Amino acid sequence: MKRVLIFSLAYYPSHVSGAEAAIKEITDRISPEAIEFHLVTLLFDATAPRKERIGNVWVYRVGIGGAFLSKVLFIPLAALKARTLHRKLRFDALWAMMTYMLFPVVLARVLGVRVPHILTLQDGDPYEKVFERPFIRPIAFLLDHGFRTAACVQAISKHLAAWPARRGYRGEVVLVHNGANPKDLHESVPAEEIRATAKQLGKGEDDIFLINTARLVHQKANDDTIRALPLLPAHVKLVLVGGGPEEGMLRDLARECGVLDRVIFTGPVDRSEVTRYRRAADIFVGPSRSEGLGNAFLSAMASRLPVVTTRAGGLAEFVFDESSGMQTAWVVGVGKPAQIAARVNEILSNPDTVKRVTSQARTLVEENYDWDRVAKTMQEKVFTPVFSHVA
């Protein structure tokens, strides 16, 4: 049996996004007799246990709660925790989930945890934001060292796979996509649960619900969807599933646009429940400014929702418009609310096209974005070669 120590700033049961979901979906599908996973994360909630097992992962939380200082101290605290755990457990590899987790990995190696490390690129922010922010530039050399010395770099999209060479990595980048939410892809949701969710959201008989299921952050461009609402009929409403720092701004914008009564904010929703919200909606609208890949879009396609989106970042790998011959979505430009409104109207006016396109999108997800296949590929192309190299 091999042991892997994962570094992830956030993890279950709260603060779950695409990267955290990827860890759980992958580790749950790899036999604990083959690989034993441990994970160091930040103690956001002071009442959370310092150590617990979640699925196939032993989780260790460090820090003093969710304060800013705790996030600053995460790097040294995570590295020190790694050294302590390594002395007891003897890890075979370290695994950095997203670029910034290279910071504790590099420090842990300095402190004596001399085992190979794996980097998974899941970043949703654009390259410039990740590497060129003023407070990152002075310490970016540590990230570059982490890239150059990685035993394996894995990316979830071709968009992200172009990053390592720019930071000095000279090896092959292993491309392994994320998967769609298994509930959207494999599990049926009882009709009564969908009806109950629609009722909970206040959906009227004639209402059309647009939906986005992601954190309320700038890159998701929910402000563009709100600006599109005044261009659409009054029975078209927007459901934003998730919390985030832009909620206040988005509420103010909806009020300014005169559509506050047409925007429904659910707040944070557990990932296991999000499928119910998608099934209660009619059109997925995510005009993102940047995406590493776009798990929420894959899940929407798996649920056979028509999708209105851009082709920013990793979205371009599975979002195709009518000119492609294999349309999977209705494509808009970045920052184009009028185009969003036009595409929504187009969807509402062409049910036959919607049926064909959503069927094509569902097939694409089934064939390429299933977590069972992802986990198998990760074990064969990432973990096993790294272990073999050590041996």
Q: What residue spans define the domains of the chain?
A: 2-178+370-390, 182-368
Query: In 10 A of CB 64, how many CB atoms?
Result: 12
Separation CA 251–CA 230 (nearest Å): 15
Mean predicted lDDT score pLDDT of the chain: 95
Task: Give domain 2-178+370-390's CATH superfamily.
Answer: Glycogen Phosphorylase B; (3.40.50.2000)
What is the model's pLDDT at position 322?
A: 93
Query: In 10 A of CB 306, how many CB atoms?
Result: 26
What is the model's pLDDT at position 64?
A: 80
CB 202 within 8 A of CB 231: no
What is the model's pLDDT at position 13?
A: 86
User: Is 182-368 the same fold as 2-178+370-390?
Assistant: yes
- Please give the DSSP secondary-structure letter assigned to residue 380: I
pLDDT < 70 positions in the chain: 65-68, 390-391
Separation CA 262–CA 49 (nearest Å): 40
Query: In 10 A of CB 324, how many CB atoms?
Result: 10
In order, the DSSP letters of 229-268 are GGGS-TTEEEEEEB--TTHHHHHHHHHHTT-GGGEEEEE-
Q: In the structure encoding, which two tokens stand for residue 61, read together?
A: 């939380």
Q: Tell which CATH architecture fits domain 182-368.
A: 3-Layer(aba) Sandwich (3.40)
| Residue 38 CB contacts under 8 Å (≥ 6 apart), including other chains | 3, 4, 5, 6, 57, 58, 59, 60, 85, 89, 91
Q: In the structure encoding, which two tokens stand for residue 307, read together?
A: 């999708």
Q: Which residue, 93, 149, 152, 142, is CA-closest to 121? A: 152
In order, the DSSP letters of 144-203 are HHHHHT-SEEEESSHHHHTHHHHTT--SPEEE------HHHHT----HHHHHHHHHHTT-
- Please give the DSSP secondary-structure letter assigned to residue 29: T
> Does the pTM of the predicted model rise above 0.85?
yes
- Please give the DSSP secondary-structure letter assigned to residue 11: -
